Structure 1
Amino acid sequence: MDHREMHVIEHIEELRKRIIFILIGFILSFLISFLFIDQVYQFLIRDLNGQLALLGPGDIIWVYMMMAGVVAVATTIPIAAYQLWRFVQPALTREERKVTLAFIPGLFFLFLAGIAFGYYVLFPLVLSFVQSLAGEQFETFYTVDKYIRFMINISLPFGFLFEMPAVVMYLTRLGLINPVKLAKLRKYSYFILVVISVLITPPDFISDILVIIPLFLLYETSILLSKIIYRGTEGQVH
């Protein structure tokens, strides 16, 4: 076995170790969140008039696992980011290591902000629209599985979408992108964001606008932050 093969094996072994740490962090977070899942559930359904229905004995277990999984994903993000940083650390310069490590807390808080936006803004909007479609001609009857799944499917994607500013700042700091490129790609990025908004919102103009505007603001904020980081980088170079 030559030196190159040994080097590849070492990288694979290191990656395996980092993945194991991430999985351990996820499992521990999942178990801890499961201990407090009843409080999480009561918080999520606090605005409901009446109780949700169960169609089978396994429904509540599945729902609790979904909610615990979302909490575990949120708490595992900084763990995963740190383990990724540890994996690529040998290939980074000292300055790049500091920069990468500094962005990890931002990823966590932006993820929480995205979920909060989806839960507090978008979910009530979509639920209200669906209820208005039903009107008085249908008896509204929610099962716990459908209700929580619907909530997660709407809220969780925004946790990842809100990571955009931190990712843009990081890539700008590493010199992979710059605000000029982002500005040139604005119309294409806007189109993609509009498509995402249309796909995850009810088919009415008001709902689309209420989601499109925050996503556009996120993109413009990303460009602004990229400019600040880019100027700082240029100042260091000169």
Structure 2
Amino acid sequence: MTEEQKTGGVEETFISHLVELRNRLMKASIAIIVIFLCLMPWAAHIYDLLAEPMMVALPAGSKMIAIGVITPFLIPVKVTLLLAFVIALPWVLYQLWAFIAPGLYAHEKKLIAPLVISSSILFVTGIAFCYFLVFRVIFRFINNFAPKSISVAPDIDSYFDFVMTMFIAFGMTFEVPIVVIVLVRMGLVPLEKLKAIRPYVVVGAFVIAAIVTPPDIMSQLLLAVPLCLLYEIGLFVAPLFVKATQAPAESEETI
């Protein structure tokens, strides 16, 4: 085979991969758009559901305010789009898996598939934990602490930004076991080293909680404590995951 034929074959393979990637992205995007359009008639109700933890904590008869001209329309649309992405997440992950799976060995598929699935479940679990537990505690504490001379009426844009920040913080916190597993499985950090740095992880968890959450001890504990517990879960699961996803050559070396 000549050098030109080799170059041409590489270019064709690269182009075919780009076409495949484009098709997968289009399928994922179409799913999100279709779900978004189906949810749009209920966009206002979806935002009301997101705002429920705050509304329950506010005094009876209180409402949020919208300062911007198009904010009453734009914020519910953003919330609906994010919900559409979460609903379509299994399909999006399947498209990602279908794109990378043909190039993986059998033991690599055993490694990637559980990580993709479990990381998605953990991220959504972190969001649910934040919505159903953390928000109830934080908003009740803040509104009970507010002076009686203040009329509490949060702006929906600020509320949306705060909620998204908290969702991302708790979603990423619940990814800690995946981070530990990857570090151990890839041989980047020995398991013994990760166990030895537990005290630093605890301090780091409280520092992160102090930065991300409101300045009250309860919300900081609600982020820092799960982070520490999830780190311990990662330390427990990592050896089991490494053993289950070893390549045949790696298994022979360990025998």
- Which among 40, 46, 67 is matched to residue 46 of structure 2? 40
Segments of structure 1 that go 5 or more residues without pairing to the other structure are none
Number of the residue aligned with 1:29: 35
1:174–1:187 Cα change, 3 Å = same
Aligned mates of 2:33, 2:212 — CA distance in 1: 29
Offset of residue 227 of structure 1: 2.2
Matched, 1:9 2:15: yes
Matched, 1:229 2:241: yes
1:184–1:23 Cα change, 3 Å = farther
Same amino acid, percent of matched pairs: 29
CA offsets 1:149-205 (integer angstroms, 9 cap, x no match):
332322243223323334554675676766345335545544543332111212233
| Secondary structure of 1:136 counterpart | coil
In the alignment, is the contact (CA less than 8 A) between 1:178 and 1:230 conserved in 2? no
Aligned mates of 2:200, 2:161 — CA distance in 1: 31
Aligned mates of 2:245, 2:168 — CA distance in 1: 34
Aligned mates of 2:213, 2:158 — CA distance in 1: 17
Question: Considering only aligned residues, what root-mean-square deviation do their CA atoms show, in Å?
Answer: 3.1
Aligned mates of 2:247, 2:22 — CA distance in 1: 39
Counterpart amino acid of 1:44?
Answer: L
Number of the residue aligned with 2:226: 214
In the alignment, is the contact (CA less than 8 A) between 2:214 and 2:220 conserved in 1? yes
Counterpart amino acid of 2:127?
Answer: I
1:34–1:189 Cα change, 3 Å = farther
In the alignment, is the contact (CA less than 8 A) between 2:184 and 2:238 conserved in 1? yes
Count of aligned residue pairs for this structure pair: 238
Matched, 1:112 2:124: yes
Q: Tell which structure's C-alpha radius of gyration is larger.
A: 2
Q: Which moved more, 1:219-228 or 1:180-189?
A: 180-189
In the alignment, is the contact (CA less than 8 A) between 2:206 and 2:224 conserved in 1? yes
Number of the residue aligned with 1:137: 149
Matched, 1:127 2:139: yes
